[in-house]
Structure 1
Amino acid sequence: MTENSTKTRDQAESAFSRTQTQFMARNRTISEIDAVAAEREAKTLRLRELRLEKEAATPVKVAVPRKSAKR
């Protein structure tokens, strides 16, 4: 009876270990994806700020329509 119990327990521990490993791998992957998304968002914000600063520093050229010469 104890032999059967030990075998069942070993199988259960093995199944739990596999499940736990998959869960940990999934969490690690999700963490990596979140980190990449956060880096992308930070870079986008930084580039947007630089673009807006550049646009603010650049004088705006206003196009004045030319008068057409009469022939």
Structure 2
Amino acid sequence: MTQTHSKSRQQAEIAFGNTQTQFFARNHAVAEMDSLVAARETKTQRLRQARLAKDADDIAKASAGLIAMRARKSDL
């Protein structure tokens, strides 16, 4: 059984459908952007941790080198 609606009702239904489509498209776009932001933040945190670990390793190696150099100088 098909229902027939007035022309103004049909126009309202079409306008509502268009609004719903725009709403869901916007929500999809926002969700996609949130996903990209989260991925970027995760990558940034991982790279920051790697850089800090490398810096700490470089400092430890430099300190060990200075200690060894002082030890050789004191042996002379």
What TM-score, normalized to structure 1? 0.73
**What RMSD, in angstroms, separates the aligned Cα atoms of the two structures?**
1.8
Counting aligned pairs with the same residue, the percent is 49
Query: How many positions carry a matched residue from both structures?
Result: 59
When the two structures are superposed, what TM-score results if normalisation uses the length of structure 2?
0.69
Consecutive unaligned residues of structure 1, counting only runs of 5 or more, are 63-71
Which structure's residues are more often helix, by fraction?
2
Give the superposition deviation at 1:57.
1.1
**2:37 and 2:19 mapped to 1: Cα distance?**
27
Runs (4+) off by over 2 Å? 59-62
Provide structure 2 residue ranges, at least 5 long, that are not aligned to the other structure.
67-76
